[in-house]
Every structure is written in structure tokens, then in C-alpha cells.
Structure 1
Amino acid sequence: MESRKFGYARVSSNGQNLDRQIFELKKYVPGDFIVTDKASGKDLNRPGYQSLKGALGLRYGDILYVKSLDRLSRNKKQINEELRWFKENGIRLIVLDLPTTMIEVPEGQDWIIDMVNNILIEVLSSIAEEERRTIKRRQREGIEAAKLKGKHLGRPAVKYPDQWQSCYMKWKQGEITAKEAMTQMQLKRTSFYKLVKEYEP
């Protein structure tokens, strides 16, 4: 049975672009066989990637192309587990940024590529994991620095309108409806009930 070729591309968020990876993968894989995800590399719980490993995805003898090793994961342990899964299921992984994975050798000498790749993959997976740790550390440091400067992170807090007390009392006593209270204070429904929840003991 002839080997089928698949490609996998990933970026970490919806705001990032997959075009560069897809452009490179299309040099080796038909466009219809390129699977994509816009999700973090911290774990493997991604719909596209999981479909590749499912019943209708990769099978024995197939080839999977990725632009770089960290497109699979940024976690060294997970990368090693995936490489083991590919090997056990007879799937060849080709990493475009890792030229040794693309070398063809005479039958029976695959051990040469395996030996070189294992060394390079160990190094690259360690670098990918360290990059992930660095990103997380910088994010944490940024949040702490913002807090020290008194910056509010997340959604801005909703302030009580000047006429809150009088409108709130009229509403609670049934003199006006909630809708009328919102109109008088120029509040949206969600903001109104959020303030009510904070205001009431």
C-alpha cells in the first residue's frame, strides 16, 4: 500500500497566522491533507491533532510532515511520547526544520537516521520546553509588575452611578421596574445585576 502524506500546522492563538507553515507544507503534502489547529502547545488536547491520531487519520506506512518539532508540543515529555507513538504505529515523522528526518537511506540502515534524530530531538525538545517555561515566567512577571504599578488587569471594574442609592431603593420598594432603573442610570442589564450582587449583603 502506497504511503499517504499528511501535514500538521499549529499556532497558539486565533490572532496568529498559519499561512507560512501551510506554504512550506504544501511543497510536500496536498493542501487537502494538511490539518491545522489554533491552540496552545502546552498539551495535545487539540481537535485537529487528535483527528490525525484517530481511526480516520494516520495509519501504518503514512508520513506526517510538520514545520518544526514544537508544532507538536512544547513539552519535552509529550514530544517523546508522540515520537514513540509514531514509531510503534509505523508512521514516519518528517520535520522540515530538521533535515536529517528527510534523508533516505538504504533498506536496513534506518538505525543511522534514528540515532542522529534521537540526539537532535532530545536537544530541540529541551529547547522547546525551556522556551515555554520562559514565556510563562515572563507573563507572570508582567502581571506582577502591573499589579505593583496599580494597574487593573482583566475587565475594568463597573462603578456605581451617582444616583445608585435612590434608584436602587425605588426599585427594591417596587416604585420602579428594573428596566426603568437601568434606563435612569444608563446601565446595561449585566452591569446592573452585577452591581446589585456586589451591593447586597
Structure 2
Amino acid sequence: MSTNVKSLTNVHTTTEYRTYYYARVSSTGQNLTRQLEAFHKLGAEEREIITDKASGKDIGRPGYQALKTTLLRSGDTLIVTSLDRLSRKKEDIKAELQYFKENNIRLKILDIPTTLIDPPEGQEWIFDMVLNILIEVMSSIAEQERVTIRERQRQGIEALKHTSAWENYGRPNLKIPENYPEVMRRWTSGEITAVAAMNLTGIKRTTFYRLAAKYKKGELKL
């Protein structure tokens, strides 16, 4: 992972509002050129561009966090080429949009032209409206994804119920101890108690009786 965070000192020494640009690719093997070219066409200076080479699954990226905690201030503008540069998780995108709104940071997204329009003075509510719509859209997408995932899980469980794998669903694979056959022989012959058998094998009560039932039926492969 690489991060380019330039000019972290001497920022916001005046009340002048600033514009920053954020570019991200998922790995060091990928190229930032396309995003950087788009920024340069807008007149971006190198010191205004922050980059990360890190996965979009985690927003805790050094460059991005430096933007939020050190550089961006109320009234500033952040420009990205697309929403997924902020994150690939819909819930995280929604949270970041909300953060920018609450902190009065203008977000411009190059592939969403509506966000690039500068509203006339006194009509900043237009930008707020666009941001609210984006937040609602991202919320709806995230919620739909959660519903879809839950439904797929439910369908998978229903299908699993009709297979032999259902009996062990949700249980970690249990390693049968080497002394299990001998201990079970002694238990079934009445030589030792069930509690003693559990202690000797290290198997908990519920699992012990579940395995014992299979053992007695000859279904347990040892």
C-alpha cells in the first residue's frame, strides 16, 4: 500500500476555502494515471492530490484519513472520480456522504455530473438536496443488499435441511480422540460412567450423547 500526502503542514493558514482531490486504486500493481489525468484537467496541483493504493473494503486508509483529520475543513471541496473511490461498501459510502454533509464539505463526483454544478449564491440548498438524494439511494442499495443476503442465506439453509450435512450445520468439525473407541467400549459395557467417559475423551455432554447415538448405530466413522 502506498500513500501520497503532501503539504500537511501550513494548511488553512487563512480563511480561504480549498479544493482537494482523492485518487485510489486497490493494489500497488494498479495505476493511478487515469484518475490523476482527470484531476489535472481540472487544474489540480500535485500538493492538492492525495492518493492511496489500498483496498476499498476499508476506509481506514492513511491518505484518506489524513484528508478527513488533517486537511479538509468546513467549506472545502473534495473531488473524486467516482463514489467507489471512497469505498466499495455501500454502508461506508453512505456514512462518508453523511460525514461530508454534517461537516459542510462539498463533494464533487466526476461521474455524477449533478454534483459538479455550482448553485447560485443563496441556493446552496440545491447541493444539499443532491447529497440527500445520494445518501437515500446508497441507503436503499445497502438495505436491498442486506435483504438479498438474508434471503440467500434462508434459501441455503432450507436447501441444506434436505441433505445429510444439515445435522452438522453450524458446528465446527469435531476431531474424534484416539481413545474414543476404547472409552466407548468401556462405557457401553458399564465399566465406566458417562461422566467418566466425557472426561477421558474431553467431549462435552451434548456432543458426547450425539456421537454416542451414532456409535451405537454403527454410523460413526472412526
TM-score range, shorter chain: 0.5 to 0.7
From 65, 79, 86, the equivalent of 1:50 is 65
Root mean square deviation of aligned Cα: 2.5
The 1-side partners of 2:134 and 2:62 are apart by 28
Residue correspondences, number? 130
Amino acid of the structure 2 residue aligned with 1:61: G
From 64, 73, 88, the equivalent of 1:59 is 73
From 27, 30, 33, the equivalent of 2:45 is 30
The 1-side partners of 2:40 and 2:101 are apart by 24
In the alignment, which residue of structure 2 is the partner of 1:165? Answer: none
Amino acid of the structure 2 residue aligned with 1:8: Y
From 69, 94, 100, the equivalent of 1:86 is 100
The 1-side partners of 2:81 and 2:24 are apart by 9
SS in 2 for 1:14: coil
The 2-side partners of 1:74 and 1:62 are apart by 24
TM-score after normalising by structure 2: 0.53
In the alignment, which residue of structure 1 is the partner of 2:191? Answer: none
CA contact (8 A) 1:64 1:92 kept: yes
Deviations 1:28-74 (A, max 9, x none): 3212210000111111011110111123x111111111000100001
CA contact (8 A) 1:100 1:117 kept: no
TM-score after normalising by structure 1: 0.58
Structure with higher Rg: it is 2
Kindly, what percent of the aligned residue pairs are identical? Answer: 61
Amino acid of the structure 1 residue aligned with 2:95: E
Deviations 1:7-45 (A, max 9, x none): 000001111100100110122321221000011111101
Deviations 1:105-126 (A, max 9, x none): 1233222333234335654684
The 2-side partners of 1:17 and 1:122 are apart by 32
Gaps of 5+ in 1: 131-201
CA contact (8 A) 1:69 1:124 kept: no
Decide which moves more: 38-47 or 103-112: 103-112
In the alignment, which residue of structure 1 is the partner of 2:55? Answer: 40
The 1-side partners of 2:134 and 2:104 are apart by 20
